[in-house]
Structure formats: structure tokens, C-alpha cells
Chain A
Amino acid sequence: MSGCWAIFKREVQSTWLTPLAWILLTTFLLIQGGVFYSIVVHMSQVEGGVSGTGPIQAYFGQQSLLMALSLLLLCPALTMRSIAEERRSGSIEALLSAPVTSAAIVVGKYLGSLLTYCLMWLPTLLYFATLRETGTLHLATILSGYVGVFMVGAGYLGIGILMSTLAKSQFVALLLTSTFIFSLFILGIGEYIFDSAALRAVCGYVSLTSTLEETAQGIIDSRRLIFYFSLTIWALFVSGRVMDSWRAPA
């Protein structure tokens, strides 16, 4: 995996040197801040508090539709450039002629976008610092909530890298990733629609909203971890194979 570290560093550096990351960060934090603010204001206005839930659970879980929408915006936008832009500009040639494997390129680019994704979530820790002023925080629940968004984001960024490898234009990569993630989201809704128990189980297994609701309650289900982990590995493996097919005969 030699070269992976160099690609990872350049990916992070280039992302934050262009306006895209800052625009995304601002939009993302405006949405998240708005959601969190409305949750806290709503809960503070209900006399005696809202039973069975708190702002942390609501933020990570019950408002997961809003969370899904922000992930639908963030993940494709973070990965759309990574490989598609290199192909469009021609800089991919210098990269492919270097003594690095396709796996190192794909993993370096993926980890770069994953770090940027994590950095975008970092300021949301302040939300919980403000809650600390008014009550006690259940740190394990916060941690579990973050595990949820990390796990889902990791999977979706993997898909984003794959689509960026397949598409020559970053806009097409953005559309493909959004479509894929949105399809998974729609499939998840099937949990409440289908009659067949088996279909409901499958839909529940991939459901974004159920995943986030569970982790917001402090439940980390290994099946979901396995699903997102295998989704990531599959997407990165296919990306690597696609890249191999560009530069060596089958």
C-alpha cells in the first residue's frame, strides 16, 4: 500500500484548499444547527419534558429523515471529485503512471474523504457542550449516535468513491451516488410497507432511518456494522478493479 499515505494527505489538503469543502461545511452545519435548535426549543417548551426521549436521541434518531437528507447531500458531494475530476483534468495519468497500486489510490482517496466527513461532524460536539449546561449528558448515547453517523457515512462514501471511479464527470458521479443512496433509503422504507416478513427483514437490515434510530438509543447492532463494513469493502474493491482494468490487460 505504498503511496496510500501520500494520496490520503493530498486528498485532504486539496479538499480544504478549494471552496467546495467550506461551502459544504457551512451548509451542513446550518442544517444540523437548525435541526438541533428546533429539537431543543421544542423540548424545552413541552411541560414536564418529552417522555422516553431526550435531545440526543431526537437529534441522532427520531429526526433521522433530516439526517438522511443531509447525508444524501454531504456524502456524494465529498466524493464526487476524488477520481472523476482526476480523469477529467488528465492528472489521473500521472497518478496511474506512479509506482502505486490501484488499491492504494482508492483507499487513500477514500480515507481522505472519510477524514473530511469526520471533520465536518466535529463542530456538532459543541451542541452537546451547550446541553451540559442544563443537565447531565449520557456520553455513551452520544458516542453511539456518532458511531451511527460514522458507520452510515463510511458506507456511503465508499459508494461515492465507486461512482467517482465509474463516471468521468463529477456531476455524473454526484448523481449516481445520490441515486444509489436514495435507493437504499427508499428500500429501507419497505420495512413498513411489505407484507412478506422476509422482505421486511431485508429492508429493515438496510434501512438508514432504523439504523440511526437504533444507534441513537445506544444500540449498536453488529449486523448493521457488518452491512456497512461489507458495503464499503465491496465498493472499494470494485473501484480498485475498475482502475486495474484501465491500466493492465485483463
Chain B
Amino acid sequence: MSTPEATGQPLLELRGINKSFGAVHVLHDVDFAVYPGQVTALVGDNGAGKSTLVKALAGIYPADSGEYLFEGKPVTVNGPKDSADLGIEVVYQDLALCDNLDIVENMFLGRELHRGSVLLDEPEMESKARETLASLSVRTVKSVRQSVASLSGGQRQTVAIAKAVLWNSKVVLLDEPTAALGVAQTRQVLDLVRRLADRGLGVVLISHNMVDVFEVADRITALFLGRVAADVPAKSVNHTQVVELITSGRSGEMGIAPATAAQSA
């Protein structure tokens, strides 16, 4: 599974996805696949449709047309709850953690454990949160009861990712996880991304940072103006080619035919 070419059955697959916002056609017949144990980098310039694609995956903006397959079976995803039920966890760029809640409360938000039918089971949630962080070798967080507002950017990212692990997610989508981080913290988060894939999860990494992408990605999917310009193993392309795909939708033989590219512009 860890060889970049190994395709096998994708965990998650989108076929021919289209999405428009009013007159703006944001996604054109997008095909996208996520394989277990692999990091798939989703790259593209601002406005290429990365975030819209992620939101379609998450069910926040259901696609106008196209197929959504999970573990080979067609599914309907019409809301965040549907994708969460399938085992898809999205870590947004703004992290979307509740600052006033502590780490445990954030990790279990929306899926609290109960003792009996009404009361929350705090000790159980706390120990599970602690176990999960330990299993990811997270040592920077001192107390799982500290509020998220007091955490650094890297720690917040870690909590958001740990949430995905806690819920035994099968697919984790990370939107620009290293965008606001320093060198050491970026290192930690990339290690964590790799560790997620090594556990057999399908990981999608959205990034503008080519260094990060080449460091952890097994596959690279490049979007250009709402179309897939290339979907290739990371080892088969180089930095320059990817940048060309991002900026012009083409690189040598790869990419969108010029006529099609002009159409979507």
C-alpha cells in the first residue's frame, strides 16, 4: 500500500463532480481519489477550487452533480454529519476549535460520551483524549484540561488532528495545516501527517508549500481553475512541474489541453 503507484481500491472517490455558485462554475468534472495509507496532496492556486472541493467532500457544499463513492460504494453526503459518520474528518485552515472549551471538550464536541442517558462522562472522555494524544506521541500539551485559547498554533493543529484519530476516522483532510506555523511546529505537524498515513488512514493535504508537499505526499492532485490538471505519483514529478501545473494547468505532456483550459478561464 505504501508504494505511490499502488492504487487498489480508493477509500474515497469522487467522479465527475460539478459545483456552481450562481453563475460561477467552481468545479468542472473533478475526479478525485484518496487511497488508504497514502498522503494525497491537493495543490492549486487561490481560486482553483481546493476549498470548495474539500467542502464538497465534507458535505458542507454538496456537489451539484457527480458521484461520491466511499470504500467503493456510492453514498450521499449532504451535511457534515454524513461525512463524519462515514469516517471523514476535516481539519480546517482556521481550525474551528472553540477557544473557550478545553482540549477534551473540543475533541469530543458533537460526539460527547455519556454516563447514563443525560450526564456527560468527563473522566472517560478525559482519559480517551489523553490516550489519543499519547498514541500520537504528542508531548507538547501539558494538560488536556487547558483551554484551547492558551495553546500555540502547532498545538491547536495537533488537537484538531488528534480529534480525527480519536474518532477512528478513515480519511483526514487537512486544509493548509502548516500555513501559520514556525519551523519546528511545521516539522511536528508533518511528522504527525506521516504517522496518520502510516496507520492506514487516507490523508489529504492541501498546501501551497511545495517543500511540505514533496516531503510527505505520495500522490499529487493539481487543480487549475476548477479542473484536475494532473493526478500523479509524487515521485514522478518535480517541483518545477508541479508549479507549472498550478500556474498554467499544463506541464509538458501533463495537464489540461490548452483549448479546455481556455474555456474554463
Decide whether A and B are members of one complex. no
User: A-contacting residues of B (Cβ < 8 Å)?
Assistant: none
User: B-contacting residues of A (Cβ < 8 Å)?
Assistant: none
